[in-house]
């Protein structure tokens, strides 16, 4: 890996200036590297983070990709990583004009990383450096503890999609919202409000009392006030601890944290080192969480800007045709399939257009007359501001859910494509299933990244009980046993998983009661099952 | 050009990404769905998470390069063994990847895979239908068909063409390597030679012979030796003083060459017939299991016979036909009934017409779900016995459908009744299990049963 040459870097700096003038906000320091095929192969299992910890399955992944590339050349990588400074990777054979386009695309990604609120927790540090430290920790522990480290990595990764990403966002928000020391916050917002004898009058008096307390030498206002509270309510401290624990369970804790705190195995004296490895895996997963949840927005945003800025850039005059070709390839809607560049880009343009006409307003929404709706235009010119607002505050789910509407679907001739077998012609047919915005939206939202929602508790025998909250899709059965075996290892005791699965037997027996080989086209029937893993043996019980 | 009835295909493939939920499609899809790891070759359209800047902006993908830093496959498999000793299931699976190609030279390679198991949603179609909907774009109205994709490979060309085209039917060098790994790591047995009756004479051309005066490659060492000898004889070199090279002469006869020469090889050669029931009831898991097993067996034989293996592929429902290559073999599906005897009869016909029994070790592996619609079993028993008389091994796998509640299947029953399992104990092996419950371990175990 080497840095791009001075000539190319100069082009990049020119792009940054123009992007900055257009309103994109990003750290001016960036690093650009040329990568070779070998680099790419080695970086891919590490999600392009060169300093990510080593793990033997990454090697298998590389061997696998080597095989795959022979026949199916493709690559799964990002060009730009969310570090400080942001690092992006390039192929060294691009002509200058193409680099201009890619640079704009990359700059928009960087802008997105550094301004979208879902990335908030990645703003305060440089992940690459953190990862490097962690990589060293892992290899040091590995040299002491041997392959146990790899089991810990593997099994923690087995549940790393269940990290409480949204809970971790909320935690931060709580702090910002209340800004009160947590005991004080608990006193006013929970403790006294739960006491039936407390009326509004008394509540206000209590606040008054708090406000009036003057700091005296060596003691803060809070300490003085809490001393008063404790004197009056001896049970306050106990209640507070209990509340804190419950609160954590409710929102602040994910399965990995729970295991860290409650596992009988991890908390053995000789196994304490495992905690650092587990935390590393958890942090890494949290770091990647916003990325996968903003794929469409991020690519749409980058495509929007690379097009807009490229066409304005006077340095590339004469290369419009070349650009048009590449850009069309990237942003064309597929006949069948979902292209995040194409859909995200069009949706941003659509939103900008509507916002420019002032259509995101009550005045427009209340119009029923189709002609009036067509003509509506307040020439507000707020489109640009509005899409910047969206890039700051939305993620894929909210973005698509809010802004996909019939006008958008009609304008770009979008549709839901279904598949069916035609046994007469012996072909699989792709057909237009629906052109309604409602169906399109639900199809698209359904295809978004969405890990299963699983809650957990520890029962009196020390058994870890996982409850999968069924959302219409069963869990991928092939993966359940090994994931559970890993969990048992981390937990140090029996583990249960309650979930729902398709009842193929019942479905295939059919309503007419005839046992038929043709199990296609039946209403899905689900049944409740409980998996138990004990001593690395997994069994499944059907609950009636 | 996009026509209304365009065939939707794509050579690009999908790779995994952090946290990406693998799209486990329809379980009823006939095969291309890899049993072990889904490479999603059956997925002809893209989802959101399949798009990446590198591919779509830079048009850049890495080539196959050797990475010395990495563990070798052997080392990784070694690790996996230790893992088993630690009480955890093996992690590395061998996956297959097939690239169809228009000129018929389909290629299949086997690559190691390891899935990172997590709790994921299964994205298949819960109604047992034909796959979940996706997005699209176009002028067509609701209900209109916008494209179709054949379930069956195009026929016509290359029918019954056993050898020739496509060489070893795409099972190239990788098969040998995988066979070695299977033999060594999964402790598959080595082959038992059934005497030498099947040795075959063939010639190869090598540069091992030396020749004086002319040839293809100068052998410098021997040439120097001869020069010294000649000059010793001429008295140009004496033992008591430093040799003076300027006085030495070189005669044309001194030049020694390697010369290309014909060598006789005595090698065993095998022909293996893979028979697969592709009737309607085989769809889904049974087919996956059978095909996976057959690809392993083929690899094992390729290794055992040092690549001297000819593979022939036969699919059957009520009628049997030979297909030209592995890809067609494992992708074909129809919805017909089943007549096992048709396949056996075709094997006998090929063997007889091409006089194969004399020169080859013959292996026949048959995969079925155990159904046979023929009421009269005498035909199939008769054909099977014919095969048993010349074959080195006949291995029958019965991958039962989970909905057949009968204790044993039709095929299993008549083979047991025929007493062949006793009579031809050394040749005929049979293994049956429920397809839906077949793990990789079970498949490997089954291979051991069939070939040991």
% helix / strand / coil in chain B, to the nearest 5?
30, 20, 45
Nearest to B137 among A292, A414, A524 (CB): A414
Residue A67: pLDDT band with limits 50, 70, 90: low
Query: How many CB pairs (< 8 A) connect A and B?
Result: 375
Q: What is the mean pLDDT of residues A384-412?
A: 95
Residue A394: pLDDT band with limits 50, 70, 90: very high
Is B56 in Cβ contact with A341 (below 8 Å)?
A: yes
* CB proximity list for A258: less than 8 A, separation 6 or greater: A456, A458
**Could you tell me if B215 and B259 are in contact, meaning their C-beta atoms sit under 8 angstroms apart?**
yes
Least reliable range by pLDDT among A172-176, A197-201, B72-76, B226-230 = A172-176
Nearest to B403 among A89, A337, A508 (CB): A508
Cβ count near B58 (within 10 Å): 23
Q: What is the per-residue pLDDT for B264?
A: 54
Q: What is the mean pLDDT of residues A42-70?
A: 73
**Could you tell me if B433 and B401 are in contact, meaning their C-beta atoms sit under 8 angstroms apart?**
no
Q: What is the per-residue pLDDT for A490?
A: 96
Tell me the pLDDT tens digit for each residue of A508-524: 665 544 444 444 456 77
Least reliable range by pLDDT among A257-266, A354-363, B153-162, B246-255 = B153-162
Q: Searching chain B, which residue's CA lies closest to the CA of residue A468?
A: B119
Q: What is the mean pLDDT of residues A317-335?
A: 88
Report A:50-89 residues touching B (Cβ under 8 A).
56-57, 59-80, 89
pLDDT surpassing 60 at residue A355? yes
**Could you tell me if A122 and A113 are in contact, meaning their C-beta atoms sit under 8 angstroms apart?**
yes
Q: What is the per-residue pLDDT for A256?
A: 94
- Alpha carbon of residue B82 to chain centroid: 27
CATH number of B175-199+268-451: 3.40.50.410
Tell me the pLDDT tens digit for each residue of A270-312: 999 999 999 999 999 999 899 989 999 999 999 999 999 999 9
What residues of chain B lie within 8 A of the CB of A78, using their CB? Answer: 52-54
Phi-psi region of B51 (alpha: psi -120 to 50; beta: other; left: phi over 0): beta
- In DSSP notation, A438-494 reads HHHHHHHHHTS----EEEEEE-TTS-EEEEEE--S--B-GGGHHHHHHHHHHHHTS-
Check residues A29 and A253 and name the one with the higher pLDDT. Answer: A29
Sign of dihedral through CA atoms B123, B124, B126, B129? positive
Least reliable range by pLDDT among A94-108, A322-336, B9-23, B66-80 = B9-23
Nearest to A41 among B17, B62, B281 (CB): B62
Residues of chain B falling short of pLDDT 70:
1-47, 50-73, 94-112, 125-131, 150-206, 262-269, 306-308, 327, 331, 333-336, 402-407
Q: What is the mean pLDDT of residues A487-491?
A: 95
Nearest to A72 among B11, B53, B95 (CB): B11
Of the residues B42, B58, B64, B99, the best mutation for testing chain A's interface (the one with the most A CB atoms within 10 Å of its CB) is B58
Tell me the pLDDT tens digit for each residue of A367-383: 888 888 888 999 888 99
Q: What is the per-residue pLDDT for B403?
A: 56
Chain B: closest CA distance from residue A227 (Å): 48
Nearest to B45 among A60, A106, A334 (CB): A334
% helix / strand / coil in chain A, to the nearest 5?
60, 15, 30
What is the percentage of chain A residues whose pLDDT exceeds 90? Answer: 46
Is B73 in Cβ contact with A520 (below 8 Å)?
A: no
The CA distance from B199 to A264, in Å, is: 64
Q: What is the per-residue pLDDT for B65?
A: 37
Residue with tokens 């850009």: A327
Residue A98: pLDDT band with limits 50, 70, 90: confident
Q: What is the per-residue pLDDT for A312?
A: 92
Chain B contact for A1 (CB, 8 A cutoff): no
- Alpha carbon of residue A26 to chain centroid: 21
Is A427 in Cβ contact with B149 (below 8 Å)?
A: yes
pLDDT surpassing 90 at residue A326? no
Both structure tokens of A86: 């942001």
pLDDT surpassing 60 at residue A498? yes
Sign of dihedral through CA atoms A40, A46, A50, A56? negative
Q: What is the per-residue pLDDT for A250?
A: 61
* CB proximity list for B42: less than 8 A, separation 6 or greater: B25, B26, B29, B32, B33
Chain A: closest CA distance from residue B267 (Å): 31
Report A:326-355 residues touching B (Cβ under 8 A).
326, 329-330, 333-341, 343
Residue with tokens 């195009």: B154
The CA distance from A430 to A419, in Å, is: 5
Mean pLDDT across chain A, nearest whole number? Answer: 85
| Region(s) of chain B under CATH 3.40.50.410 | 175-199+268-451
E strand or H helix that includes residue A379: none
The CA distance from A113 to A100, in Å, is: 20
**Could you tell me if B395 and B366 are in contact, meaning their C-beta atoms sit under 8 angstroms apart?**
yes
What residues of chain A lie within 8 A of the CB of B20, using their CB? Answer: 292, 449
- In DSSP notation, B275-327 reads EEE-SGGGTTHHHHHHHHHHHHHHHHHHHHTTT-EEEEEEEESSSEEEESSHH
What residues of chain A lie within 8 A of the CB of B178, using their CB? Answer: none
The CA distance from B53 to A77, in Å, is: 7
Q: What is the per-residue pLDDT for B427?
A: 82
Chain B: closest CA distance from residue A335 (Å): 5
Nearest to B135 among A157, A417, A486 (CB): A417
Chain A: closest CA distance from residue B210 (Å): 40
Chain B contact for A188 (CB, 8 A cutoff): no
């Amino acid at each position: 890996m080497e840095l791009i040459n001075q000539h190319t870097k100069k082009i990049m700096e020119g792009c940054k200036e123009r992007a900055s003038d257009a309103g994109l906000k990003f750290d001016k320091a960036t690093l650009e590297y040329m990568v070779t095929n070998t680099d790419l192969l080695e970086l891919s299992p590490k999600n392009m983070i060169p300093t990510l910890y080593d793990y033997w399955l990454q090697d298998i992944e590389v061997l696998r990709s080597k095989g795959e590339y022979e026949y199916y050349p493709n690559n799964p990588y990002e060009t730009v990583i969310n570090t400080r400074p942001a690092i992006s990777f390039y192929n060294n054979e691009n002509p200058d004009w193409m680099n201009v386009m890619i640079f704009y695309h990359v700059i928009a990604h960087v802008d997105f990383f550094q301004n979208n609120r879902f990335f908030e927790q990645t703003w305060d540090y440089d992940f690459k450096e953190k990862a490097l430290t962690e990589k060293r920790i892992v290899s040091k522990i590995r040299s002491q503890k041997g392959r146990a480290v790899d089991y810990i990595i593997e099994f923690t990764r087995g549940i790393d999609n269940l990290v409480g990403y949204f809970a971790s966002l909320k935690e931060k928000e709580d702090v910002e919202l209340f800004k009160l020391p947590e005991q004080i916050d608990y006193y006013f917002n929970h403790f006294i409000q739960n006491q039936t004898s407390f009326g509004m009058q008394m509540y206000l008096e209590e606040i008054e009392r708090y406000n009036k307390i003057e700091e005296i030498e060596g003691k803060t206002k809070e300490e003085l006030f809490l001393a008063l509270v404790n004197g009056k309510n001896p049970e306050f401290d106990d209640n507070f601890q209990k509340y804190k624990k419950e609160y954590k369970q409710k929102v602040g804790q994910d399965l990995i944290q729970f295991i860290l705190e409650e596992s009988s195995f991890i908390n053995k004296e000789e196994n304490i080192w495992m905690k650092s490895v587990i935390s590393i895996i958890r942090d890494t997963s949290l770091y990647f969480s916003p990325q996968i949840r903003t794929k469409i927005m991020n690519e749409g945003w980058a495509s929007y800007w690379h097009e807009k800025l490229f066409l304005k850039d006077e340095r590339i005059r004469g290369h419009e045709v070349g650009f048009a070709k590449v850009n069309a390839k990237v942003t064309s809607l597929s006949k069948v399939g979902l292209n995040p560049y194409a859909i995200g880009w069009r949706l941003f343009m659509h939103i900008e257009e509507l916002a420019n006409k002032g259509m995101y307003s009550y005045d427009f929404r209340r119009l029923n007359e189709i002609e009036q709706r067509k003509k509506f235009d307040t020439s507000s010119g707020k489109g640009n501001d509005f899409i910047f607002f969206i890039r700051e505050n939305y993620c894929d789910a909210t973005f698509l859910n809010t802004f996909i509407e019939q006008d958008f679907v009609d304008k770009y001739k979008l549709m839901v494509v279904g598949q069916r077998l035609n046994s007469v012609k012996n072909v699989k047919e792709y057909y237009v299933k629906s052109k309604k915005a409602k169906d399109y939206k639900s199809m698209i939202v359904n295809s978004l990244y969405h890990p299963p929602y699983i809650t957990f508790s520890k029962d009196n025998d020390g058994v870890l009980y996982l409850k999968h909250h069924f959302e219409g899709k069963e869990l991928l059965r092939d993966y359940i046993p090994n994931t559970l075996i890993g969990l048992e290892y981390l937990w140090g005791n029996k583990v249960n998983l309650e979930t729902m699965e398709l009842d193929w037997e019942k479905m295939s027996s059919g309503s007419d009661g005839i046992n038929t080989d043709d199990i296609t086209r039946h209403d899905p029937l689900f049944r409740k099952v409980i998996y138990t893993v004990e001593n690395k043996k997994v069994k499944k019980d059907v609950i009636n | 050009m996009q026509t209304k009835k365009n065939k939707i295909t794509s050579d690009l493939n999908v790779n995994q990404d952090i946290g990406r939920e693998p799209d486990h499609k329809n379980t009823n899809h006939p095969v291309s769905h890899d049993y072990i790891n889904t490479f999603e070759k059956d997925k002809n359209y893209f989802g959101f998470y399949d798009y990446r800047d590198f591919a779509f902006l830079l048009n850049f993908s890495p080539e196959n390069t050797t990475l010395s830093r990495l563990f070798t496959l052997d080392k990784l498999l070694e690790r996996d063994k230790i893992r088993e000793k630690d009480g955890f299931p093996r992690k590395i699976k061998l996956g297959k990847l097939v690239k169809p190609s228009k000129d018929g030279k389909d290629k299949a390679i086997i690559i190691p895979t390891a899935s990172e198991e997590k709790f994921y949603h299964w994205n298949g179609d819960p109604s047992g239908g034909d796959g979940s909907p996706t997005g699209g774009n176009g002028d067509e109205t609701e209900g209109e068909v916008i494209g179709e994709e054949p379930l069956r490979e195009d026929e016509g060309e290359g029918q019954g063409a056993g050898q020739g085209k496509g060489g070893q039917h795409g099972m190239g060098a990788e098969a040998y390597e995988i066979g070695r790994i299977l033999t060594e790591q999964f402790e598959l047995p080595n082959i038992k030679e059934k005497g030498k009756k099947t040795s075959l004479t063939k010639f190869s051309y090598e540069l091992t012979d030396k020749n004086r005066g002319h040839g293809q490659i100068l052998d410098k060492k021997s040439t120097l030796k001869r020069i010294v000898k000649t000059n010793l004889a001429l008295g140009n070199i004496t033992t008591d003083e430093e040799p003076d090279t300027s006085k030495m002469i070189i005669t044309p006869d001194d030049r020694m060459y390697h010369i290309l020469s014909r060598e006789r090889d005595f090698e065993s050669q095998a022909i293996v017939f893979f028979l697969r029931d592709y009737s309607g009831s085989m769809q889904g898991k049974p087919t996956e299991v059978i095909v996976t097993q057959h690809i392993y067996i083929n690899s094992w034989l390729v290794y055992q016979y040092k690549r001297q293996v000819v593979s022939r592929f036969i699919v059957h429902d009520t009628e049997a036909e030979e297909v030209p290559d592995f890809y067609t073999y494992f992708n074909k599906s129809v919805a017909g009934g089943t007549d096992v005897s048709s396949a056996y009869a075709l094997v006998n016909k090929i063997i007889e017409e091409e006089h194969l029994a004399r020169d080859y070790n013959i292996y026949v592996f048959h995969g079925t779900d155990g159904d046979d619609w023929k009421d009269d079993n005498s035909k199939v028993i008769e054909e099977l016995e014919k095969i048993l008389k010349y074959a080195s091994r006949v291995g029958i796998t019965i991958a039962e459908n989970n909905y057949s509640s009968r204790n044993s299947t039709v095929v299993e029953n008549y083979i047991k009744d025929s007493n062949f399992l006793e009579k031809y104990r050394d040749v005929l092996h049979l293994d049956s299990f429920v397809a839906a419950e077949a793990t990789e371990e079970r498949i490997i175990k089954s291979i051991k049963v069939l070939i040991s």
